[in-house]
Amino acid sequence: MKKILITGANSYIGTSFEKWLKRYPDKYTVETVDMIGEGWKRKSFAGYDAVFHVAGIAHVSSGPKLKDLYYKVNRDLAIETAKKAKTEGVKQFIFMSSIIVYGNGTGGKKLINKNTKPNPLNHYGNSKLQAEAGIGKLEGNEFKAVIIRAPMIYGYGSKGNYARLSKLAQKIPIFFDFDNKRSMLHIDNLCEFVRLLIDNDESGIFYPQNEEYVKTGELVKAIAEVHGKKILLTKAFNPIIRLLLGRVEIANKVFGDLMYEKSMSDYSKANYRIRTFKESVYLSELGSGVIWDQVILPS
């Protein structure tokens, strides 16, 4: 039986992963620790097979006021936690990084491959990249480091851009039919991927994503369909969107291209992509209590 510690109590990813592992009561025991304040330093990490570090400050602002906090939490806390894990005999440390280490989506086709060098454009991305470097230096024969450069994560109860689009999709009759592509990762696919990484004692940098790229307009349309609404997609405003891309941050987030080359995300040992795009939207909107086998998807 694997013993796992999640560092970052009450986080969306940590809570979701803890629930996910409860499906396998004979294979895993899971505990969490709150990383706010200094109390976590008194918690013994001895005896855990893996530490899954999810504590961090999300990308909520590019303003200079959050600069110090990004580096204190996303970099310094992560490295200090990894050092404690190594010192106390943990064999595997898993760090949640982000696709944003490669920059934000812009007007150009941002297709990332294994030769693409990280180029963070804000303190959030840079703090994650610096944390990766510090954790990587700790790796050795008895301490395996895993870096997960995840794209946008979404699911039932998630916050951020997906939640905003969900609210919008339920209110408006028309949306933009702009031809962009984004890598995304449903929370169930992420949880299954992390479980497999622990089972197989992996180390290295990983780039999980859903099987399908996502077009923002099609995502909004799919969300509306779950709620019995229809949205008309129009290309009429595409020239304006093209002018905004590369100049306005919100336009980059919503309509920019940011995607991993698909082969980067393959995992040869097992299939972690247990949710298709359409399935993931239904689960994200209707909730984790849905009995999936009873859901009839529209054709």
Domain contains 225: no
In a domain, 177, yes or no: no
Q: How many domains does one find in the chain?
A: 1
**Domain contains 299:** no
Containing 150, the helix (H) or strand (E) segment is: strand 144-150
Query: CA neighbours within 13 Å on the CB side: how many for 225?
Result: 16
The one-character DSSP state at 49 is S
Dist CA 182 CA 74 (whole Å) = 24
pTM here is 0.94
Containing structural domain, residue 44: 2-159+184-210+262-275
Provide, rounded to the nearest whole percent, the portion of the chain with pLDDT above 70: 93
In the structure, what pLDDT confidence band is assigned to residue 65 with cuts at 50, 70 and 90? confident
Q: Is residue 169 part of a domain?
A: no
Residue 57 lies inside a defined structural domain of this protein:
yes
pLDDT at 64: 72
Instruction: Judge whether 152 lies within some domain.
Output: yes
Look up residue 116 and give its DSSP letter: P
Contact 258, 110 (CB under 8 A): yes
pLDDT tier for residue 294 given thresholds of 50, 70 and 90:
very low
- Residue with token string 């999640």: 6
What span, in angstroms and rounded, lies between the C-alpha atoms of 154 and 172?
21
Q: Is 65 inside any structural domain? A: yes
In CATH, what number is assigned to the domain containing residue 109?
3.40.50.720
List pLDDT tens digits, range 78-110: 999 999 999 999 999 999 999 999 987 655 568
Q: Over 70: is that where the pLDDT of 291 sits?
A: no
On whether residue 98 sits in a domain, the answer given is yes
Tell me: the pLDDT tens digits for 232-268? 999 999 999 999 998 888 898 899 999 999 999 999 9
